[in-house]
Amino acid sequence: MSQCPVHQEAEPQAAFPIARQCPFLPPREYRAFQQHDGPSKVHMWDGKEAWLFTRYDDVRAVLADNRFSGDPSTPGFPSLSAARNAVLELEPAFIRMDPPQHGHFRRMLTKEFMVKKVSAMRPMIESIFNRLVDELLAKGPPANLVEDLFLPLTSEVIAWLLDVPREDHAFFQEQSRLKVLLDVGPEVPREASERILGYLDTLITAREQDAEKRDDLLSRLIVEQVRPGHLSHRELVIMAELLLMAGHETTANQMALGVYSFLTNPDQLARLRAEPALLRNAVEEMLRFHTIVHYNAFRVAREDVEVAGQLIRAGEGVIALISAANHDPQAFAEPDRFDITRKAGHHVAFSYGVHQCLGQPLARTELQVVFGALFERLPQLRFAVPVDEVCSKGDHFVQGLQTLPVTW
């Protein structure tokens, strides 16, 4: 039993993950959890229990507290599914490491994703976007915006940064898609990851021959980190995989869901058209509303920790649900309403604490480029199928749309 003087040990209340009633909103149960103080206990598919945090303040408190480990090899780390375990058992990138090891790797990349550096990429992003829209217009409607615009755009941007050949984009898009599936056998994400690591190993081995003559992110890391011995070849391969995967699938999904939100909320689209200065707000609201990386923040207590009046014992698993936090009425009034005029900048869609998304300036810039121009370039944009046939990806690790069939 809990030693906490304030709260009784909660009984398990639900199995996690909890299915969504509406594919575009968090499950209603999260709101019920938010009504009582402290976390709730949930049971996982493997029969183990974890503490579920759903309130905005509590989620941030957990994510800011380094007594909780994000390293899945720590005993007690909660398991989402067998497929997810298979991914987490692979050699870890720094996203799965704790301080101080985590900071050692992350610091090598900080300058690459600083706002100033990313701002300089904006013309490149705009030119890729405009070329892809020109191609769409030349081909004519209908189109699937996920495959015909957003995945190519975000893949080209990350591939430009890493200087990955264009002809390989379809390959790494497909491997990224397979790696985040949750309801498949463990071999599916494991083999996808092995294929992409093998690919990057070959690419980086070749790059090591002439890195000094090149000016891409991988070459800079070879010169500045690998050559002096701060980073091994293998560690660079794993870091490159993280960037490649995190850098395109996420943002493309966010774009698709953003379009969905505008087409299903025409008043908000009219508002954006009338007041383009709302663009930045609109992007933050999209990030908050959909919180596409909704299952990211699994942790385990490395020592006894009290959060929100609840004693979490060393070795107990914790889930700090950013998707619930971003729909907590205490932090966002009428949270289930998509409202581009709200000040949503304090959302936690990029997580919080040491693992807060490194690529967020890049993601924001890409989203601002797309939503600053898409509805101007395709002013008649609308769904090409009845709205209830637009399918969400369901409970994938990263939320998105299966396809986004549109016409104009």
What mask of x and - would describe binding to ligand HEM in positions 228 to 257, judged by CB under 6 A? --------------xx--xx--xx--x---
- 63 vs 181, which CB is nearer to ligand HEM? 63
Contact flag: residue 95 with ligand HEM (CB under 6 A): yes
Per CB under 6 A, does 351 bind ligand HEM? yes
Rounded to 5 degrees, what are φ and ψ at 171?
-65, -50
Contact 278, 341 (CB under 8 A): yes
Among 145, 204, 349, 381, contact with ligand HEM (rule: CB under 6 A): 349
Tell me, residue by residue from 174 to 213, as one string, x for binding to ligand HEM by CB under 6 A and - for no binding.
----------------------------------------
Instruction: Kindly state whether residue 261 participates in binding ligand HEM, applying the rule CB under 6 A.
Output: no
Residue 43 and residue 16 in contact, taking contact as beta carbons nearer than 8 Å? yes
**Residue 77 vs 383, nearer CB to ligand HEM:** 77
The residue (of 362 and 381) whose beta carbon lies closer to ligand HEM is: 362
The tokens for 286 are 């999209």
Q: Are 112 and 129 in contact (CB under 8 A)?
A: no
Binding status of residue 342 toward ligand HEM by CB under 6 A = no
Answer for which of 133, 331, 357, 401 binds ligand HEM (CB under 6 A) is 357
Please report, as residue ranges, which positions from 73 to 92 form the binding site for ligand HEM (by CB under 6 A): none
Q: What secondary structure does DSSP assign to 319-335, as a single string?
A: EE-HHHHTT-TTTSSST
Asked if 38 touches ligand HEM (CB under 6 A), the answer is no
- Quick check: 358 binds ligand HEM (CB under 6 A)? yes
Q: State in angstroms the smallest separation of the CB of 380 from ligand HEM.
A: 26
Contacts of 404 (CB under 8 A, 6+ apart): 144, 145, 146, 150, 256, 259, 260, 390
Contact in structure between 396 and 385 (CB atoms under 8 Å): no
323 makes contact with ligand HEM (CB under 6 A): no
Rounded CA separation 214/109 (Å): 17
Are β-strands 40-43 and 14-15 bridged in parallel, bridged antiparallel, or unpaired? Answer: parallel
Nearest distance in Å: CB 99, ligand HEM: 10
350 is an interface residue for ligand HEM by CB under 6 A: yes
Among 34, 173, 175, 296, binds ligand HEM (CB under 6 A): 296
| Residue 362 found at the interface with ligand HEM (CB under 6 A) | yes
Positive or negative, the CA dihedral 298, 300, 305, 310 is positive
- Taking the C-alpha atoms of residue 152 and residue 49, their distance in angstroms, rounded to an integer, is 40
Quote the CA–CA distance of 404 and 267 in Å, as a whole number. Answer: 20
CA distances from 264 to 252, 261, 399 (A): 19, 5, 17
Binding interface with ligand HEM (CB under 6 A): 94-95, 106, 242-243, 246-247, 250-251, 254, 292-293, 296-297, 349-351, 355, 357-359, 362-363
